[in-house]
Structure 1
Amino acid sequence: MTAQSSTPGSDERPLPSVFADDLTVGDRVQLGEFLLEQQDLIEFAERWDDQWFHTDPAAAATGHFGGVIASGIHTIAILQRLTVEAIYGQWAVVAGRELESVRFLEAVRPEDTLTGTIEITDIKLGSTRGRVSLSCQLVNQAGVPVLATDMTIVMFRRQPAAN
């Protein structure tokens, strides 16, 4: 289940090739990597979570974490980006339904390289659509878990009927 992608910057979108019928509970997908640079961390926080421990390196150095840390929302956005790159371009996803739980397990710091896995935990098939539940985890370069979440994709298309 690797992603197929179009040429970066092109208007072409790959056709989905993985439908709800093709998935199995227990399937795991390894995500790519994302290097979180300090400037990106600060710029995101300045726009979306403007708290001193995200945006002010000097003040954050004296704080609880000993330096700036990523916003939790930024960490979730990184998971989404890695998930889109790894699978959503190939999967027949119509829409997301819910984040059932989000657990921030460790602070994400500048220059951390994040990667992770997604595991399919449940599949419910309807006549034309399926509901697929996923368990997701991000880890840093040392293998320390930083984020764990369970999410449900709703309206995942099923295989088209053969004519």
Structure 2
Amino acid sequence: MTFAYEDFEVGSTVQLSGHTFLREEIIEFASRFDPQPFHMSEEGGVASPFGELVASGWHTCSAMMGILVRDRLSGSTSMGSPGLDNIRWIKPVRVNDTVRLSVSVLSKRISASKPDRGLVSTRWEAHNQHGDLVLTVDSSAIFGLREPGKPR
């Protein structure tokens, strides 16, 4: 059965998988998308307030998006997203940190103009292997209804 709008329950939280941030991957991502010194080398990290090489926040967001797609959205009725809000990089993600994602459903509503789909608002929380919160994101996504027009 395809995961659809109807399957989201307001107040529910799902625990998804994680991603380990390896040194080479941190540097490769940074060299392509966020070439700040503290993301590019140990030396740059040591000279920064972080004191060591750290992953770009955008790298962390991208990795969490990959987890969300693989663990939850693949094969769903997802129609994309109108955007993200309140991205917060709370703690740095360091080399060899494993960050796990949880997603909580904040609200949902059927579209008034397109009643075959609905908008689901969620909060992502990413924690490292020590249980420290490293990232939060508020997200909205559009999902098709399994049975449009059925009373809810």
TM over 0.5: yes
The within-5 A match list for 1:25-64 is 25-64=10-49
Displacement of 1:58 = 1.8
Give deviations 1:27-86, integer Å, cap 9, x for gaps: 211110111101000010011011111102123223211111111110110110111111
Displacement of 1:116 = 2.0
Conserved? CA contact 2:17–2:101, under 8 Å: yes
The within-5 A match list for 1:8-27 is 17-27=2-12
In structure 1, the partner of 2:145 is 158
Give deviations 1:6-44, integer Å, cap 9, x for gaps: xxxxxxxxxx61211222101211110111101000010
Displacement of 1:161 = 5.4
Find out whether 1:66 has 2:51 as its counterpart: yes
1:133 to 121, 139, 149: 121
In structure 2, the partner of 1:98 is 83
Find out whether 1:82 has 2:78 as its counterpart: no
TM-score, normalisation: structure 1: 0.85
For 1:47 and 1:23, how far apart are their aligned partners in 2?
Answer: 36
Q: 1:31 to 1:48 in 2, by over 3 A?
A: same
2:101 to 85, 99, 116: 116
TM-score, normalisation: structure 2: 0.90
Displacement of 1:106 = 0.1
Q: 1:150 to 1:38 in 2, by over 3 A?
A: same
In structure 2, the partner of 1:3 is none
Query: Please, which runs of 5 or more residues in structure 1 have no aligned partner?
Result: 1-15
For 2:148 and 2:50, how far apart are their aligned partners in 1?
Answer: 54
Q: 1:114 to 1:124 in 2, by over 3 A?
A: same
For 1:64 and 1:29, how far apart are their aligned partners in 2?
Answer: 34
- 4+ runs deviating over 6 angstroms: none
For 1:130 and 1:61, how far apart are their aligned partners in 2?
Answer: 47
SS at match of 2:85: strand
